[in-house]
Each structure stands twice: as structure tokens, then as C-alpha cells.
A and B are shown apart, each in its own frame.
Chain A
Amino acid sequence: MNWLFHLGRYWMFIKEMLSRPEKLSIYWKQLLRELDNFGYGSLGIVALTSVFMGAVITIQTVYNLVNPLVPMSAVGIVARDSIILEFSPTMMSLVLAGKIGSSIASEIGTMRVTEQIDAIEIMGINSASYLSLPKVVAAILIFPFVVIISMFLGIFGGWIAGTLAGVISSADYINGIQDSFVPFNIVFALIKTVTFAFLITSVAAYHGYHTEGGALEVGQSSTNAVVYSSILILVFDYILTQLILT
């Protein structure tokens, strides 16, 4: 029944986090800082992961395409749809859960064990909202842009790898990525991204906020934040796919 306790406490935390901020100008500054941190700060890892992910998808698709009746442009279609529908929103969110989720949990957890959160509370400030809301809003606003960049770089990585390895011609690949394109897939990917952004940041903030003890427990909170947000990303990936695409 431990999960029920956490579920209840998580909802209480979300309710507190979403209560009216004390002073919007302070939250605005925090929001800008987090946008820079989550967006610009994540570009390196996102770019690297996306290019290699696109490259591997393309080469593996070519390797598995043994039927001579299937045109080579199908490789572009498969790479594009895999990247847009699944790899960019879900895999990037898992990567960001590791990078941003652990950072949020350890930052807030350290503030808890060093009494910085108590100091905020003493001043009459809603600490849950002050510490978490700018992070959650920043992630919801910036993650879609990060994922769109990831989609572009993934498809680009596939083209580079495919043509450099000589397994597909540039024309076939470009024809493939333009063929039977469904714009709603982008909307679906962004719906998933926004959901994952909320889960990553709120779950990490929750674990950090409820840290008790010292340095060891801060590490445990950080690990728990990554583990639980990753599990929730996979569960919600399935739920959203089932709800929206079928």
C-alpha cells in the first residue's frame, strides 16, 4: 500500500504547487532561468542522442529490408515515423528524465536537508510552489521545442548515415521522408512530450521535496525520481498511444 501513500502525497503536493504564487515577478525570473537551463542546457545531449538514434534506425531498417518489391524510399518513411512518433518524444524524455529529473530532485532534496526549504517556509512563502512551479512550467514550454529539434536532427542523422554508408541514396531517403506524411503525428508527439515534461519535473520535485535525512537520502531521492518518472513515461506512452492513435 506504499504506492497509495505516495500517490496521495503526490496529489497534495501538486495541489500545493498549483496554488496562487506570492509574487509573479519573482516566479517570472525563475521561469526564465529554468527555460535556459532546460532548453539550452539540454541541447548538447539531445543533439548527440538524436543524430545517432536516426543513424541507427536508418541502417537497421535497410539491413532488415530484404524484400526487393519494397522500394528503398520505405526506409525514409520508417525512419521518419519511428523518430516522430516514438523515438524523439519518448526516448528524449527518458534522456531528459535522467538529466533534468535527477538534477531537480537533488537540488530540492539538498535544500530540504540543509533547512533551506524551512527558511523559505518561515518567511511565509509556499515553498512547494516557489521551488517547483517554475520548473514544471518551463519544462512544459521548452520540451516541445527540444523534441522538434530532436526530430529534425534524428531524420538528418539518418540521411547522413544512410548516404555515407552507401546503403541508401539521398534521393530515396528524401522521397521517403516526404511520402505519406501525416501532420497529426507531430501533434501527437507534442501531446506526449508535454505530458512527459509534467511527469518528469513534478515527480522529481516531489521526491526532492520529501527527502528526509542527509546526503545519502538526497542520492536516493535523485535515483527514485529518475526511476519513477521513467516508468511513468512508459506507462503514459502506452496510455496516450492507445487513446489517441487507435
Chain B
Amino acid sequence: MIELRNISKSFSGRMILSGVSTCFEKGHINLVIGGSGSGKTVLMKCMVGLVEIDDGELLYDKKMFSGLSRAERKPFRQEIGMVFQGGALFDSLTVEQNVMFPLNMFTDLSIQDKRERVNFCLKRVNLEKVNQLSPSELSGGMKKRVAIARAIAPNPSYLFCDEPNSGLDPKTSIVIDNLIKEITEEFNITTIVNTHDMNSVLEIGDKIIFLHQGKKWWEGTVNDILQTDNQELNDFIFASKLAKGVKQKYGKN
């Protein structure tokens, strides 16, 4: 479980996040949605400690994370897996070396055991016979899947995905969504996903946070979204004709 208490962050006097409080439950997919510039990525970077918060508190399973030094955060970091928007695979390493990277750094497993773990993770994301390929030889969807394999290789307790569907076709997006959902349930991980993809919102979101102008504007479930009369949220979610149709059919008009 990850708890945010009144998180605020500004850059050069410009407020990006203002008093964001929420709680992300274990074993659930927690979606953070919002328009471009609403503060989603900054919020995620604050949560993983890549950006320091100005104000507020951040707790991982009731243990304070914000305000800790780099050394004090080390045990937390090894529990965190992150899938970046572009995959962030290491260009100079093969797929196998990419997935093995965190295992090399933090475990004393034998090379045989590490290979087995790599093969298990790659198989889990439906990738086989790609071990010796370099990231440049992979398609966008395959890169995302390798990034997920790398993120789950050290058995993390928390999985962060920053727009995992960006740049993917609708069919591959569904594959990635389902994969994240299965992994979250199978390994009982606290998963937080930043997304613009409305299909993800409606398909895999257990809990949804809507950020608007750096503030938590709305919070609820998929069913709540269909019923809500929050103007900004409706404008964002049901912007397309197709989505408006869904709202008219299943939701409150």
C-alpha cells in the first residue's frame, strides 16, 4: 500500500502538484489519469523518489519514504519496479542482459539461476527466443514487454507504469493492459499506472484518480466514472463520440 498525504511540488515557483492525498491499495491496479500537463508524471516521479516533494508525506506500507536519504531509501528501491513510457531499455545490452541487470546488481544468484529467472519473466510477458536480441531489434510492444519483465525480475512489491500504452496500436495496448492486470493479481503487487488510454481506464482500473491543474479532482472506480457528473472528468474521459456513446448507454447523462 502506498499512501500520499498532501503532496505538493512546484518548479521555479510554478505549482505542479498541490495537496494531493490518496491511498493506493495492494493487489489492485490504481490508475492516475489527467490531461497533458496535469502533473501525472511528476506525481509518479515523486512517488518513486526521482523528484523530491516540497511538502507532504509519502508512505510505503506505513513506512515513511519521503525525507529519507539516498542510503535510507535503498531497501525501498529494491522493492520498486518501473516501466517507463519509452521502455528505457539499456541500448548497449541484450534483452537477456537488460532483464538480468537488477539481478546482477542486487542478488548473489548463480548465472544459471539468473538465466532461469530471466526466462521465467520473459515467458511471463509472452516473449520467447528474444534473449539475444538488442532493444533496437524489438517492436514498440515488445520493448514494453521486456521493460515489464525487467521491472518484475527482482520480485517487486510496487510496480509503477508511466503511460505503458503510449505509441502502441489498440490491440497491443490491450495485451499490455491485460499483462499488467495479471501480474498485479498474480504477485499481489501495488500497481500504479499513469495513462491517457480510455480503454485501460474502463478495462483494468480498480481505482482511478483524476488529476486536474495539479490537484486531485476526482477519485473512484470505473462504475463511479460512468455515473459521475464531474464536468472536468466527463470532458476528459468522454471527449470522443465513441466514449460519449458509452456514457449514454451505460452511465448517467
From B45, B70, B77, B89, A123 is in contact (CB under 8 Å) with B77
Q: Please report the total number of B residues contacting A with Cβ < 8 Å.
A: 25
From B70, B80, B85, B86, A122 is in contact (CB under 8 Å) with B80
Determine the distance from Cα of A110 to Cα of B91 in the docked complex, in whole angstroms: 10
Chain B residue with the shortest CB-CB distance to A23: B105
List the B side residues contacting A119 at CB < 8 Å.
Answer: 82, 84, 88, 90
**Inter-chain contact A124/B104, CB cutoff 8 Å:** no
A240 at the A/B interface (Cβ < 8 Å)?
Answer: no
Closest-CB distance, A218 to chain B (whole angstroms): 13
A45 at the A/B interface (Cβ < 8 Å)?
Answer: no
**Inter-chain contact A118/B88, CB cutoff 8 Å:** yes
**Inter-chain contact B78/A115, CB cutoff 8 Å:** no
**Inter-chain contact B86/A115, CB cutoff 8 Å:** yes
**Inter-chain contact B104/A122, CB cutoff 8 Å:** no
Give 1 or 0 for each of B61-95: 1 = CB within 8 Å of chain A CB. Answer: 00000000010011011101110111011110000
A36 at the A/B interface (Cβ < 8 Å)?
Answer: no
Contacting B at CB under 8 A, from A1-40, are: 22-23, 26
Chain A residue with the shortest CB-CB distance to B81: A122
From B74, B82, B104, A26 is in contact (CB under 8 Å) with B104
Q: Given A115-B88, A116-B88: A121 and B105 within 8 A (CB)? A: no
**Inter-chain contact B90/A122, CB cutoff 8 Å:** no
B102 at the A/B interface (Cβ < 8 Å)?
Answer: yes
Give 1 or 0 for each of B88-110: 1 = CB within 8 Å of chain A CB. Answer: 11110000000001101110000
Interface size for chain A: under 10, 10 to 19, 20 to 34, or 35 or more residues? 10 to 19
Closest-CB distance, B25 to chain A (whole angstroms): 22
List the B side residues contacting A124 at CB < 8 Å.
Answer: 73-74, 76-78, 106
List the A side residues contacting B80 at CB < 8 Å.
Answer: 122
**Inter-chain contact B85/A115, CB cutoff 8 Å:** yes
Closest-CB distance, A84 to chain B (whole angstroms): 37
A95 at the A/B interface (Cβ < 8 Å)?
Answer: no
From B76, B81, B84, B105, A125 is in contact (CB under 8 Å) with B105
* Residue positions of B touching A, CB distance < 8 A: 45, 48, 50, 70, 73-74, 76-78, 80-82, 84-86, 88-91, 101-102, 104-106, 154
With A22-B106, A111-B91, A115-B85 known, 12 other A-B pairs at CB within 8 A are: A111-B90, A115-B88, A116-B89, A116-B91, A118-B82, A118-B88, A122-B50, A123-B78, A123-B101, A124-B74, A124-B106, A126-B70
Can you name 11 A-B pairs with beta carbons within 8 Å? A23-B104, A114-B91, A116-B89, A118-B88, A119-B88, A119-B90, A121-B50, A122-B48, A122-B77, A122-B81, A124-B106
